[in-house]
Chain A
Amino acid sequence: MARRLFASPYALVGAIVLVVILLPLILTGNFYLRVAALVYINAIAVIGLNLLMGYAGQVSLGHAGFFGIGAYAVALGPTTLGFPVWLSLVTGAAFSGLLAFVVGRPILRLRGHYLAVATLGLGLLIWMVFNNQSELTGGPNGMQVPRLMLFGWRAVGPIIWYWISGATLVFCSWIALNLINSPTGRAFRAIHDSEIASRVLGIDIARYKLLVFVLSAVYAAIAGSYFSLFDGFVTPDTAGFLRSIEFVVMAVLGGLGSILGSIVGAALLVVLPQALTVFHEYEEIVLGLIMIVFMIFLPGGIVPSLLARWRWRTA
């Protein structure tokens, strides 16, 4: 009975809704809300990346590039194009998706190491543009981001952003889960397991790879926009190599092929630096160590490994 409940995709969405609603009651205080909002924002990007890597079996070491596009869109839209913030957000997501569409076709013909490095290069190129075009973006020092106006009211502060990012996370998870339990989702997973068999069964793998790539780029851009709107400031680091790696680690650590895993992974890597504030300089060392240790001992990721243990015990 419990297994069937958990198997339903709506159970997971329901669980996320519960957590989002109940968390502020348990963890009171702006500090916790701020951390939680950051977890939700990162989780949105990681869910998109997980669809690409965990379900469709591709790889992207440059995903922060799309995150950065979203982050800068809400800064550049108002200042250079005179767009209201919400329109800039939509434009950023659209541009991110469009870039993924254009670049995706050639890039997704590559596999394995080659794909990994090509996406790494793409992410770096995007970062370089943000870093070098100082007149436009403020270069390495970054630029201010205007505040989001919600119904004539400035969206500032952890409380409002907690609810915005929480609600968006619920929505994005719901969409992702729907997709997974559909012919499209099955096509992704089929492509992951055997491209040739997928082709022979009528799946146009180029089209589906492109689809999931564009979708993951849009997810990342939305998360990026939220990130810089929340912060009020944006720097090229949002599109940097280290950020891309963090997203991948969140996805892999939490568990590729698991939406819950994406959230867990995001939580782990966002909370960790907060816990390490005293040892801030050791952040990179700890991150690197975690990456190595987890990949050796728990390559399947946290959530799938726990689920496997639980199933084994109740079998």
Chain B
Amino acid sequence: MSEFLQFTFSGLTVGAIYALVALGFTLIYDTSQVINFAQGEFVMLGGMTTVFAAAAGIPLPLAAIVAVLITVCFGFLLYRLAVAPARGASPVTLIIITIGASIMMRGLAAVVFDKNFHSFPSLLGDKPIKIDGAAILPQSLLIFVGATIIVVALWLFVNRTLTGKSMLATAANPLAARLVGINTSRMIGMSFAVSAAIGAVGGILATPIALTSYSVGTFLALKGFVAAMLGGMGNPIGAVVGGLLLGLFEQFGAGYLSSQYKDAIAVVVLLVVLFTMPNGLFGKAGIERV
């Protein structure tokens, strides 16, 4: 029982991070139809920049803020310099561009930072909290709380602010949005910036537990994508649910089946979703007209 509980806790913890990555994917996909393969690099930048900023002498909370800001800049630059100039290009072209951006950011991180694993201490300390025989790190609670705050804040932003509603409009119907005076290009840029912020915060929250390095982005992007697909590409609730579910599948799979092939679980989930329910749990089906 305690084992089951342990897997549940760790599953939800890592799932919360996947949920944040998936949310970032969804936001960009909704407004621009682009699948941003560089999403995982935002998470990596959040963690790595914080580590190195702190090492440079900046107090940790401030370093975290600096990291988020820098990542947001990267997100915006990604849109302006790489995605916007290629608007209307074929899906393959866009895929190559965002993968290229992700490779570039990884390379930059390896050069500017280094290739080692890094971490920083959790704000809440390292002493595990024992519940029913299972141990949960305080940082995990921080991850949950942080992720929840982000999801709620995003919801409020999108539904209660004018900018947020403009983004919703751009996502729903870009042409109509432009016709009512919304600068859709700016909205898409904003979605990239917000996605970057969400990713960065996720990275910062995860680092005390999962460590960070220049290469963590690749698999995170893949898993975040799988989570988004599982929940239904383009559906924010789906993204969160998909992330949590994937985290659980992974931890339970690793625990009961094989820890060696933990990463394969995400791929298997992806293939199952693609073949059996390509629209995910909460997605809508599309019809092609001839």
Which residues of chain A have a CB within 8 Å of any CB of chain B? 53, 59, 61, 106, 110, 112-114, 116-118, 120-122, 124-125, 128, 132, 196, 241-242, 245, 248-249, 252, 281-292, 295-296, 299
Contact = CB atoms under 8 A, between A and B. Distances in A.
User: Chain A contact residues: over half helix, strand or loop, or mixed?
Assistant: helix
A258 B141 CA distance: 55
Interface in B225-272: 225, 229, 260-261, 263-264, 267-268, 270-271
Contacts of B142: none
A288 B104 contact: yes
Given A121-B270, A285-B108, A289-B104, A110 B278 contact: yes
A113 B35 contact: yes
Contacts, number: 111
B91 A112 contact: yes
Interface size class of B (residues with CB under 8 A): 35 or more
Interface of B: 35, 81-82, 85-86, 89-97, 99-108, 110-111, 218, 222, 225, 229, 260-261, 263-264, 267-268, 270-271, 274-275, 278, 290
A256 to B, nearest CB: 8
A288 B274 contact: no
A120 B271 CA distance: 10
Nearest to B108: A285
B103 A288 contact: yes
Contacts of A128: 261, 263-264, 267
A281 B111 contact: yes
Given A113-B91, A292-B97, A299-B90, A132 B261 contact: yes
B11 to A, nearest CB: 20
Given A282-B111, A284-B106, A284-B107, A295 B100 contact: yes
A118 B96 CA distance: 16
B91 A125 contact: no
Contact of B101 (A114, A125, A292, A299): A292
Contact of B100 (A59, A117, A122, A290): A290
Given A245-B99, A281-B110, A295 B274 contact: no
Contacts of A121: 267, 270-271
